Chains A and B, each alone.
Chain A
């Protein structure tokens, strides 16, 4: 982003100054990396598994008083930690697992859904976090602790006249609410026409002129909401209604010169978007595999009356019609994200001794640890033909021990646990 303009007396704007400062810090790290001997380089690229585990398990056991500001997000903290541990291919001991199931159950509201802590109102985001945590823990006791029937009535209660969902009774309506509701309903096998009704229209109204998706109609295209909107549209099987050409174009331009992703145009990169944007890039990549990569979604027209389904054979339509098959599809296409550059940013700029951070100069936290690791997993497997086949040797940055578990990017749950849950809930009785 070097200044190239005519005016010699150009005064850099705030955006430029912030960007240049960050580039300075990041390239300082990369230069240092280039200047050290190869064995030190591989040490620098190594995923510090032990210190990450230590940081994560410690968080499960104890959080200091400063965490009081996250007192309405405790299922989230559980998910960030448990998912990170699962990505590392590790698990918690039996006692801790038991305690986690017990605690999360105490966040379950008597009328359905999970709140931010025991006794708090049920909330869609913490319901998503609780359900994903329990699936990540896995096993009969954990999965059976989820009251699907009551969650279904909670989801119905949160349905908003706009077609979207409210986060909680009297809560805000946005794309996050749509995603967390639909993700939970889909994975628990309770998704039906009543829940889906109007969701597609709502998400569509949030796709902006830039191509990405905003939190609400009119707002700015944003990485978190783009992931949520895109995953939702896939889960309800209406993804071809989005303008995927402009979404893809916006998305690929969010990967910065630093290798990481920014959340919005002209904002700074942040490690957490490694998953939000990186995950969306992988979803798009799979979509192209599903639709044969030549259908009209690649065109730039936004008002074709044909939604692009006309060019798909029946076979393709059928096989892509469920999210399970969507994830199982072979992908023929190359990743849309620059996988090596992303892994480099995560490992060299976001990784700290135990945990991950937004960017150099920031502190670690469980949120960034979860989404940096999720993004790293997505990048590592982005060249794989199947969601669960081991990546090609060249696609992994750093030693082979860096390899994480593959995820189902639609829900951001480790694939093995997702499959277990899928099986468990598909054989569960219908409501």
Chain B
């Protein structure tokens, strides 16, 4: 976080292997390196009394001064490439430096594999940086399908330490979609969910696979097995919101099956009668009923049994559900009240919607 340069890392910045003499020279201040003697650093134009002034280290100031000089001169050279690496070592968030580095890499027709190594070093230090991931995507796009396997491995490595890394997941999805490598992706989701069934990023990836994997046939083809998998997961930990949302998502464009599949209502009944957190089951039932589902006697009894004293005079079971949720889910009391007040339009809409299909 302190942006201090680790001199050891300068070694991996070259596009072509640097020898140790060059290493030694890199340790000198730029002003003392002969290859920079023709360049005059350009100071930062902060003005006489800048706000948010940063007390840069001398090294930082010097490197950025030289960077501005080569950037303004649009010098796309090997030494400029090395300089961008030093600047990035100080501040990997400087998008101007990264962008210029891409121009140089293109001009020099540089070895992109080497560049992947450079990015990887930075990713291991700070894997939550937009610039770095954007740069990597650019690189991999240039490399094409040959890069797919490596990128899938690379993101896997990131997930070992941080299974919910947002940038890494976006990168992985981009790789799958543009370069392929789908074969083992569903199995990988299974693996991650076995490790941590609460990992919502893995659930999201599962949804991505089901909907985008070119060989699985889409949601329709996988619906049965996915519903079974999800129900099984819910029953392991009914307080886990992720599979409940996933289940709802599977039926996003298929309300009719959602309402008519008995497995869904049976799941709700199971959860309601097993003395676990009933909020997600009740919420799902509310959605079902809003879309035209009619609960049977057992289910109605189970709903009312959640809070026996609430055993209401309400003939409308949706109102009862909302009333129960207002009591047991205090954080969202206004939401449930609002849902209750709008039930009528919901049922009307839901039923109307069924007729459309």
Please list the residues of chain A having a beta carbon within 8 angstroms of any beta carbon in chain B: 1-7, 13-16, 59-74, 77-78, 81, 95-96, 99-100, 102-103, 106, 115-121, 123, 167-172, 208-211, 215-216, 218-222, 246, 248-250, 252-253, 255-257, 264-267, 288, 293-296, 298-305, 333-336, 338, 341
Contacts and interface: CB of A to CB of B under 8 A. Distances in A.
Contact of A215 (B92, B166, B197, B290): B166
Given A216-B170, A252-B335, A119 B94 contact: no
A114 to B, nearest CB: 13
Contacts of B1: 66, 69
Contact of A265 (B54, B56, B242, B252): B242
Interface in B14-70: 42, 44-47, 49-57, 60, 64, 68
A297 B350 CA distance: 11
Contacts of A71: 54, 56, 60, 64, 91, 93-94
Nearest to A104: B51
B7 to A, nearest CB: 16
A1 B239 contact: yes
A15 B198 contact: yes
15 contacts: A13-B195, A64-B55, A67-B54, A69-B91, A71-B93, A72-B91, A78-B51, A170-B138, A172-B130, A266-B242, A298-B349, A301-B349, A302-B253, A303-B356, A333-B338
Interface stretch (B95-103, B297-305, B307-315): B95-103
Contact of A299 (B52, B134, B199, B353): B353
A4 B350 contact: no
A293 B342 contact: yes
Contacts of B238: 4-5
Contacts of B337: 334
Contact of A14 (B50, B163, B200): B163
Nearest to B176: A218
A95 B45 CA distance: 19
Nearest to A120: B96
Given A60-B52, A209-B249, A338-B333, 10 more contacts: A4-B238, A13-B199, A66-B2, A70-B91, A99-B47, A99-B50, A103-B51, A168-B95, A257-B331, A338-B332
Contacts of B64: 71
Interface stretch (B112-120, B144-152, B180-188, B201-209): B201-209
B51 A220 contact: no
B166 A116 contact: no
Among B90, B198, B239, B290, the most chain A Cβ lie within 10 Å of the Cβ of B198
A63 B342 contact: no
Contacts of B291: 300-301
B3 interface: yes
Name the 10 nearest CB pairs between A and B, nearest first: A209-B249, A299-B349, A15-B198, A13-B196, A301-B353, A265-B200, A220-B204, A69-B3, A68-B3, A334-B334
Contacts of A294: 342, 345
A427 to B, nearest CB: 29
B276 interface: yes
B241 to A, nearest CB: 5
Interface string B251-282: 01101000000000000000000011100000
A253 B332 contact: yes
Interface of B: 1-3, 42, 44-47, 49-57, 60, 64, 68, 90-96, 99, 102, 130, 133-134, 137-138, 163-164, 166, 169-170, 173-174, 177, 195-201, 203-204, 207-208, 212, 236-242, 245-246, 248-250, 252-253, 255, 275-277, 283, 287, 290-291, 330-335, 337-339, 341-342, 345-346, 349-350, 352-353, 356
Nearest to B129: A69
B93 A69 contact: yes
A62 B249 contact: no
Contacts of A5: 236-238, 276
A13 B90 contact: no
A66 B3 contact: yes
B53 A72 contact: no
Contacts of B203: 265
A288 B345 CA distance: 14
Nearest to A13: B196
Contact of B96 (A63, A72, A95): A72
Nearest to B253: A303
Nearest to A311: B345
Contacts of A73: 93
Contacts of A336: 334-335, 338
A65 B200 contact: no
B72 to A, nearest CB: 8
Given A68-B54, A298-B346, A169 B200 contact: no
Contacts of B352: 304
Contacts of A68: 3, 54, 56-57, 60, 90-91
A306 B328 CA distance: 35
A220 B166 contact: yes
Which of A81, A209, A298, A305 has the most B CB atoms < 10 Å from its CB?
A209
A364 B337 CA distance: 37
A60 B332 contact: no
Nearest to B203: A265
Given A13-B196, A62-B55, A103-B51, A118 B96 contact: no
A369 to B, nearest CB: 14
B332 A218 contact: no
Contacts of B54: 63-65, 67-68, 70-71, 74
Contact of B52 (A72, A74, A220): A74
B31 to A, nearest CB: 19
B173 A102 contact: no
B35 to A, nearest CB: 23
B163 A218 contact: no
B53 A219 contact: no
A4 B95 contact: no
Given A210-B249, A267-B164, A301 B350 contact: yes
Contacts of B57: 65, 68
Nearest to B240: A266
Given A68-B90, A293-B342, A4 B277 contact: yes
A17 to B, nearest CB: 10
Nearest to B248: A209
A266 B237 contact: no
Contact of B51 (A15, A100, A248, A296): A100
Nearest to A126: B95
B177 A218 contact: yes
B198 A296 contact: no
